[in-house]
Amino acid sequence: MADSFPFIPYQREILSDEEMITKSNAFYSYMDKRRSVRHFSDRPIPMEVIHKIILTASSAPSGAHKQPWTFCVVSDPTIKKAIRKAAEEEEYTSYNGRMSEEWLKDLAPLGTDWQKPFLETAPYLIILFRKSYDLEDGVKKKNYYVNESVGIAAGFLIAAIHHAGLVTLTHTPSPMNFLQKILNRPDNERPFLLLPVGYPTADAEVPDLERKDLSEVTVFY
């Protein structure tokens, strides 16, 4: 049976240990500069870049190669306005009673509140939807490890945005089902993350956070 499916040779350049160390160091330094930014300029960015960062995200591994995701790209000001309004309504309720004291305390260093002006200012909003199942000619097709797969694709997307010299914010207005309605998505899709994409404002600031070091996040056996 396996013989009936085509395989192709997998070839990659083999690096020396030294090159590998240099490259992994450089990549770590580059990725460690990524920050979540909450102040966006309205400066336009080329659509070609949006295409390529989405293709990068969509190259992520996925359970049984189902690629169970849809990337909705919003630049229409009317839709952005509707998304901002609905997100701020949810966030207002969250910040004024729905979030626990502990949650609000954990968020305090980030300086966030219910207001989300970047949802209108950023040139593009990418809303990532998870597809709990696929529909082929009205027939339900199973997807596997959907959360894990879409989470990995989101990581690729965030890395690609950073690599393009742009910034984003991993935004999760909660609950997010208003996105399904505004964007008119089918029943098998559920909103996963909302990512504004653009340039930071010239005076953008980010919280002075520290990241855990290797020994805090790793166990070697």
Contact between 110 and ligand FMN per CB under 6 A: yes
Applying CB under 6 A, among 87, 169, 182, 195 the residue interacting with ligand FMN is: 169
Applying CB under 6 A, among 171, 179, 192, 197 the residue interacting with ligand FMN is: 171
Contact between 176 and ligand FMN per CB under 6 A: no
Tokens of 170: 């991993």
Contact between 170 and ligand FMN per CB under 6 A: yes
d(CA 206, CA 35): 7
Give the three-state DSSP class for 208. Answer: coil
Contact between 112 and ligand FMN per CB under 6 A: yes
d(CA 13, CA 205): 40
Applying CB under 6 A, among 38, 84, 130, 131 the residue interacting with ligand FMN is: 38
In contact, 57 and 153? CB cutoff 8 Å: yes
CB of 104 to ligand FMN, least distance (A): 13
CB of 66 to ligand FMN, least distance (A): 22
Contact between 80 and ligand FMN per CB under 6 A: no
Contact between 35 and ligand FMN per CB under 6 A: yes
Query: Which strands form 167-168's sheet, in the order they lie side by side?
Result: 69-74, 124-131, 189-198, 167-168
Respond yes or no on whether the N-terminal peptide bond of residue 123 is cis (omega within 30° of 0). Answer: no
Helix (H) or strand (E) holding 148: helix 146-163
Contact between 94 and ligand FMN per CB under 6 A: no
Contact positions vs ligand FMN (CB under 6 A): 35-36, 38, 110, 112, 169-172, 206, 209
